[in-house]
Amino acid sequence: MTPKPLLALAVTAILACSANAQTKMELKDLKQKASYAIGADIASNMKRQEIDVDPKAITAGITDAFANGKMLLTEAEMKEVIAQFQTELRTKMESKQKSEGGNNLKAGQDYLAANGKKEGVKTTASGLQYKVLTAGKGTKFPKATDTVKVHYHGTLIDGSVFDSSVERGEPISFPLNGVIKGWTEGLQLMKEGDKFQFTIPSDLAYGERGPGGKIGANSTLIFDVELIAVEGEK
């Protein structure tokens, strides 16, 4: 996960430096409301990424820059410290990702071992696990080059939902060779109308990097998938 540019992060300080100031401020026009919304969005991103900054120092930098006043650091010094800070952020995030990835990998392996012993669960040569939830009446199986239309509900092994077309109330179509390996393999086992549950090892999902958000590095993923239609090659 890449931190947002520090210049953009600095905007947060106007709103984050004082809770009292935020409470007393009245947003009277579109400019103020938009400025507030931008700051709130950036602050939320900073918290989510656990970026540790000093709001007062950021506020001082913004104030001096807008006032064209005397800066406490030269332009060269600012470039240097920003580069150093970004390097530090990357190092911390990579260390955290590695630690979480190890924990996720072990938890996923334990879950797969237990899940594979459950009634109705089958495991393929690649390690993909699947269970037939509902057998459809269709006869058409997709190929890897086909586009398919599905409804799905995705969770982590702790039950946390990270994505769900079911919750959005709208199925989705996509080329089967453009998704994670577990989906490409698993959907080819289904015929139209089938509903399967897939338990996908991390190496058939997003692997060591992870896509960010709720899905961390080396996460094992669970999907309930209904194959609505095989739309063919497009």
Write down the catalytic residue from 215, 223, 224, 228: 223
Told to judge if 223 belongs to the known catalytic residues of this protein, a careful annotator would answer yes
Which residue is catalytic, options 206, 215, 222, 224?
Answer: 206
CB 81 within 8 A of CB 73: yes
Cα→Cα distances 61→37, 42, 193, Å: 21, 17, 60
Active site residue 152: yes
Identified catalytic residue from 141, 163, 174, 203: 163
Nearest to 182 by CA among 102, 134, 228, 127: 127
What is the CA 63 to chain-centroid distance, rounded?
Answer: 34
Which listed residue (38, 82, 157, 180) is catalytic? Answer: 180
Q: Which of 130, 152, 196, 198 is catalytic?
A: 152
Classify residue 10 as left (phi > 0), alpha (psi -120 to 50) or beta. Answer: alpha
Known catalytic membership, residue 36: no
- 62's CB contacts (< 8 A; 6+ apart) are 10, 11, 13, 14
Active site residue 206: yes
66 is catalytic: no
Residue 70, token pair as written in the block: 């005397």
The catalytic site residues sit at 152, 162-163, 180, 206, 223
